[in-house]
Structure 1
Amino acid sequence: MEPLKLQGLQVGAPLTPAQARKLNGMRGTLRPYEMNDGSFIVLDVKKSLPEPVMQEVVASIGESDSSDLGAFFRKTDEASAKTGKTLIVVRYMSASTKDGEPLTAWMASSAATSFPGFNGGSAEEVAAQARAWADEQRDPAQMEVVIVPS
Structure 2
Amino acid sequence: MDTLIVAARVALSLGVVLALLWYLQRRLSRGALGKGVANPVTVVGRQPIGQKASVVVIEVDGARLVLGVTEQAVTVLHEKSLSPTTTTTLDDAISLLGRPADSAPAMAFARSLETATATADDAASAQRPVASAPLAGSILSPSTWRQTAALLRQNR
Q: TM-score range by the shorter chain?
A: under 0.3
Structure richer in strand, relative to its length = 1
Q: Which has the higher contact order (CA 8 A, sep 6+)?
A: 1
- Flag the structure with larger Rg: 2
Q: Normalized against structure 2, the TM-score is what?
A: 0.26
Q: Normalized against structure 1, the TM-score is what?
A: 0.27
